[in-house]
Amino acid sequence: MARTTSISTPVTGVNHPHWDSKCFNYGKREVLRFLLSNIRFWLREFHFDGFRFDGVTSMMYFDHGYRETWDLDGYFRHGVEWIPIYLQLANAVVHRVKPQAVTIAEDVSGMPGLCRPVQEGGIGFDYRLAMAIPDYWIKVLKEKPDEEWNILNSGP
């Protein structure tokens, strides 16, 4: 059984299994207040014009998005049901505090409704940044020497 602390998720314990970082328990009122107040603070005090939410796939999936097949099985299972609510609240706070601000979800799963308005049952992001293709090219650039590049056949 995974440990549960004030900032951990019951799914993973304290640490994210792949990123050497902590996982928030979005179901705790104190955590929601802390995160949402930070959004408001950065918008008001530092005049941010938007937010990019990194790792949305990791937040939305029970297994943090590390899977062979992409299906809906990993969405909204025990331990992640509060995450869509947090993301909806975060988008609502951003757009209420600064209506012209932009929110971007970094996501590789193609989660349905990610960029639909909250009023329609969506998560409320303005844009989705699909990282699968940039991640592929970063991998290619790191692993393949320049001398081996074939400009006519650059695919996988």
Catalytic residue list: 54, 106
Helix (H, G, I), strand (E, B) or coil at 125: coil
- Measured on CA atoms in the order 54, 56, 59, 65, is the torsion positive or negative? negative
Burial class (CB in 10 A: 0-12, 13-18, 19+), 146: exposed
Cβ–Cβ under 8 Å, residues 85 and 92:
no
DSSP codes of every residue in 48-90: --EEEETTHHHHHBTTTT--SS--GGGBT-TTTTTHHHHHHHH
* Dist CA 48 CA 15 (whole Å): 29
Q: Which of 39, 35, 33 is nearest to 23 (CA)?
A: 35
